[in-house]
Amino acid sequence: MALIDIEKLVKREDIKGKYRLNRILSLRAREIVDAKEGTLPPQVNEGSKPTTKAIFELVKGKIRVEKIEEGDE
């Protein structure tokens, strides 16, 4: 399995922190597990766990992180 540099993800301009990264990945992993109408199926084949798939999607730029105001979190 490929190594993922989590520190690079945390420092990205659209993420800005480990707690926000955790929130983004957990929301996407839940979307993958629940697969409700209107949500995207997994966009990568790497990994077998939903969290791993969410991480690889973020690393490869397959999912977009919307910018939010600080008070909205």
- pLDDT by residue (tens digit) across 16-30? 889 999 999 998 898
Q: Quick one: tokens of 42?
A: 């997994």
Residues of the chain with pLDDT under 50: 1
Please tell me the pTM assigned to this model: 0.72
CA dihedral 27, 30, 35, 41 (to 10 degrees): 60
